Structure 1
Amino acid sequence: MTEKLTTIGFDADDTLWQNERFFRLTQDRFAELLAEYSDRAHLDERLLAAERRNLGHYGFGIKGFVLSMIETAIEVTDEQVPAPVIRELIDAGQEMLRHPIELLPHARAAVEAVADTHRVVLVTKGDLLDQERKLAQSGLGDLFDGVEIVSDKTPRTYAEVFTRHGEGPERAMMIGNSLKSDVVPALEAGGWGVYVPHGMTWALEHAEEPAGRPRYHRLDDLGGLPDLVAAIG
């Protein structure tokens, strides 16, 4: 017998509002600043390696991204990077921390619809202050029964979150744009996982689509969520 769905989790960045676009724009600027020292492909490769290496130190978010850009700039210039370049990278990071929130299509309507019948929880990772700022500016904060800003998203994370805010992962659904962080670990925890692709996804969030898993679903956008939730029951 299928467990009744009682709790729904939403990812934030690039699921409810735009995020990766601002990272891409800043990375374009980074490439322009370092063009005389490295070609774009090599620079992107070095930056991604730094981000991967630094996740354990800085976690996810803008601050870690800026520090990884600075570290990469130092490396590719053999420690000769001009101070004005460092200043521009810091300024770019601060601008990212101020960017206005732009909700994705159907985000508000989808959260409102399922909040009428289920407990809804925001489960996001990244910098605490930045995520709190974005949630406040989104205008969605009052719709959530709980907010969890976590250091990483693992099966254990979802088991704990959905036990704390619901009746366990078996009766919970997680919705997000990242197969690696939002969908696969939620499925492994015993819940439903709903993949809503975004046009831009960070390379470190890529994973194989878990096709064939009975609790896995894919939606083109959040507009289809209320019908999916109703069908599951």
Structure 2
Amino acid sequence: MQLTAIGFDADDTLWHNERFFKLTQRRFTELLREHAEPDHLAERLIAAERRNITHYGFGVKGFTLSMIETAIEVSEGRVPATILSEILAAGREMLSHPIELLPHARETIEALSDDYRILLVTKGDLIDQERKLAQSGLGDLFDAVEVVSDKKPAVYAEIFARHAEGAEHGLMAGNSLKSDVIPMIEAGGWGVHVPHELTWAFEHAEAPSAHPRFAELPDLGALPDLIAKITN
């Protein structure tokens, strides 16, 4: 089977990201300790995020607005302005966090770039994703970069048709089964799961283990060997 294009997710596939959300959520829990128990607060926050995805999209800005909404809800409108200010400050800090590449990210892309078109397909806030890509030092390695509002089969089909020979000749590698793997397989391509130690609750899904175009790897360093097996 001929592969012509390899797609990569960005956050928690090429560089760390979720750890900064977890750190901020712990700070949020401490700020709201007088208004809600940690488990209850976490449930209310994820519920707010789910409601707000269609309004604010994925990323830090939507997360920050969801924290503010949750703080108002659990405090029944009594949350002090000082706490809201601290939540906003925490969101701004997230938008400037340093970029730390995950193991094998650069070497894997470089190893594949001579034989395949290399695509970056990520969702989230455009400005923040552009910042992270610039700071990662990986920008020049991609033949195309797509920042999308969500990752659906039709999105992958359109991207791989526009930049390559279609999803059926493409492979997508990422840490999210829900966003990177399953919709790519549904579009006709390969979906390769590269788990990260931290995964946002919204991204959990059952692995399509029986599907012939599904694979799971311990890290990105194993991807070139997998592709060699697929194409030989």
TM-score band by shorter chain is: over 0.9
Alignment counterpart, residue 14 of structure 1, candidates 8, 12, 15: 12
2:41 corresponds to: 43
1:176, 1:41 → 2: CA distance? 29
| Deviation of 1:78 (Å) | 0.6
| 1:229 positional shift | 1.3
Following TM superposition, by how much is the alpha carbon of 1:108 offset from its aligned partner in structure 2, in angstroms?
0.5
Q: How does 1:162-181 map to 2 (within 5 A)?
A: 162-181=160-179
Structure 1 position 183, deviation (Å): 0.1
Distance 2:115 2:89 in 1: 44
Which residue of the other structure, out of 124, 127, 137, is the alignment partner of 2:125?
A: 127
Divergent runs of 4+, >6 A:
none
Contact 1:192 1:215 in 2 (8 A): yes
Under a length normalisation based on structure 2, what TM-score does the superposition of the two structures give?
0.99
Pairwise mapping of residues 17-166 of structure 1 onto structure 2 (< 5 A)?
A: 17-166=15-164
Return the offset for 1:43: 0.1
Partners of 1:114 and 1:229 within 8 A in 2: no
Please tell me whether the aligned partners of residues 37 and 77 of structure 1 are also in contact (alpha carbons under 8 angstroms): yes
- 8 Å CA contact 1:106–1:223 kept in 2: the answer is yes
Secondary structure at the counterpart of residue 121 of structure 1:
strand
Whole-angstrom distance in 2 between the partners of 1:211 and 1:226:
20
Q: Deviations over 1:42-71 (max 9, x none)?
A: 000000000000000000000000000000
| Structure 1 letter corresponding to 2:39 | A
Distance 1:228 1:113 in 2: 13
Alignment deviations for residues 154-209 of structure 1 (CA, whole Å, 9 cap, x no partner)? 00000000001100000000000000000000000000000000000000000000
In structure 1, list runs of 5 or more residues that go unmatched.
none
RMSD of aligned Cα (Å): 0.5
Between the aligned partners of 1:141 and 1:229, the Cα distance in structure 2 is: 22
Q: Which runs of 5+ in 2 are unaligned?
A: none
AA paired with 1:72?
A: T
- For 1:188, the equivalent position in structure 2 comes to 186
The answer to whether structure 1 residue 208 and structure 2 residue 206 are counterparts is yes
For 1:75 and 1:165, the matched residues in 2 are separated by 45
Aligned length: 231
Residue identity matched to 1:131: Q
Query: Equivalents in 2 of 1:208, 1:127: separation in Å?
Result: 26
The answer to whether the Cα contact below 8 Å between 1:158 and 1:189 also exists between their aligned partners in 2 is: yes
Q: Render the CA deviation track for 1:47-105: whole Å, top value 9, x for unaligned.
A: 00000000000000000000000000000011011011011111101000000100000
